[in-house]
Structure 1
Amino acid sequence: MTEFTPLTSAFGGMLIGLAVVLLMGFLGRIAGISGIVGTLFSSAPASEKSWRAAFLVGMIVAPTVLFLITGAMPTIDVPPTTAMLVIGGVLVGIGVSFGNGCTSGHGVCGMARLSGRSIAATLTFMATTGATVYLLRHVIGG
């Protein structure tokens, strides 16, 4: 069962919103993780790579800061098998390519800008997620 954490979740959502607004305000860029990572490993100019690297480092360092503040790392329980995680990762990668962006780019940034394409993409992500969970838990029995 998933633990109900409204305050922690709200605080995390506010931090994500703040990061998105700051990135858009200072650099005019959208915080889509797939685009950030994809450009980081391309032949983009160094100025593009530096902020992208800093953004990713911040995502990695954040749990360490949480540990220093609270004395505990976030607990993550991943019940699927390694094979299921790999298959899921490949499918997400394919979806990101076909959808021209990821859940962070479309779901957080695009929907906030009322982009029709992002709204359609996010509805597709959510419907697919719901169908996948239903299939895994109730049909396949995961």
Structure 2
Amino acid sequence: MEMTLNLFPLGWQHYLLGGLFIGAGVALLFVFTGLVGGMSSVFSSTWSYVVRRPYFQQARYTDSRLWRLVYAAGLVLGALLWWLALGDGTPGSTSVPVWQLVVGGFLVGYGARLGNGCTSGHGICGLGSLQWPSLVAVLTFMATAFITANLVARWLP
């Protein structure tokens, strides 16, 4: 019980409910449209509006960018509604310096491109459809995250 309080000082129930909503959302997207709701492809397809380089002008990005933008907007609006309904009214904050957030964002983006997808695509959709490459990708993501978190906690203030 004490370990649960240490890991989840604000409770675990909202994590479970959020996970159920995310799982239901990607399942419904796939069942009704046959589309996989990964976020790294949302990023690339959105760039196809403004970047004319051949990579971003591939049909897989230009043909799917509208529904992906709607999907991303739904995620943002869903998070806002969740926060308004269940939050304590104060915005979240972090003590992580901005430079670390920027470097981390670039590394995550690079890893998503390198891994041909992100944690939402591989972790939720790929594992949900029992794809072996997604299992390997998720295990790699998690191992890298554990190692990085421990290194940062040890060497950075």
Fold conserved between structures, TM > 0.5: yes
The yes-or-no answer on 1:55 pairing with 2:61 is no
Structure 2 CA distance for partners of 1:98 and 1:3, relative to 1, 3 Å? same
Unpaired segments ≥5 residues, structure 2: 1-5, 49-56
Aligned counterparts, 1:30-45, within 5 A: 30-42=36-48, 43=57, 44-45=62-63
TM-score under structure 1 length normalisation: 0.86
Distance 1:129 1:26 in 2: 33
Aligned residues: 139
- Superposed CA deviations along residues 44-98 of structure 1, whole A, max 9, x for unmatched, are 13xx333212111111212332344346447534222111111111111111111
Aligned: 1:113 with 2:119: no
Partner Cα separation in structure 2 for residue 97 and residue 62 of structure 1: 26
Contact 2:26–2:37 (CA under 8 A) maintained in structure 1: yes
CA contact (8 A) 1:64 1:73 kept: no
Give the corresponding residue for 2:101: 85
State which drifts further: 96-105 or 77-86.
77-86
* SS of residue in 2 equivalent to 1:101: coil
TM-score (norm: length of structure 2): 0.79
Following the alignment from structure 2 to structure 1, what is the Cα–Cα distance between the partners of residues 82 and 110?
Answer: 32
The alignment's C-alpha RMSD in Å is 2.0
Q: How many Å separate the matches in 2 of 1:22 and 1:73?
A: 30
Q: Where has structure 1 moved over 3 Å in runs of 4 or more?
A: 70-75
Q: Quick one: structure 1 residues 90 and 124, their matched pair in 2 at CA, closer, same or farther if it must change by over 3 Å?
A: same
Read off the aligned partner of 2:105 and give its amino acid letter. G
Check the 8 A contact 2:40/2:113 in 1, yes or no.
no
Q: Which residue of structure 1 aligns with residue 3 of structure 2?
A: none
Shift of 1:102: 0.3
After TM superposition, give the deviation of residue 4 of structure 1 in Å: 4.3
Question: Distance between the aligned counterparts of 1:122 and 1:86, measured in 2?
Answer: 22
Bigger mean CA offset, 73-82 vs 58-67? 73-82
Percent identity (aligned): 34
Alpha-carbon displacement from aligned partner over 1:12-70 (angstroms, at most 9, x marks no partner) = 0000001110110111111110112212332413xx33321211111121233234434
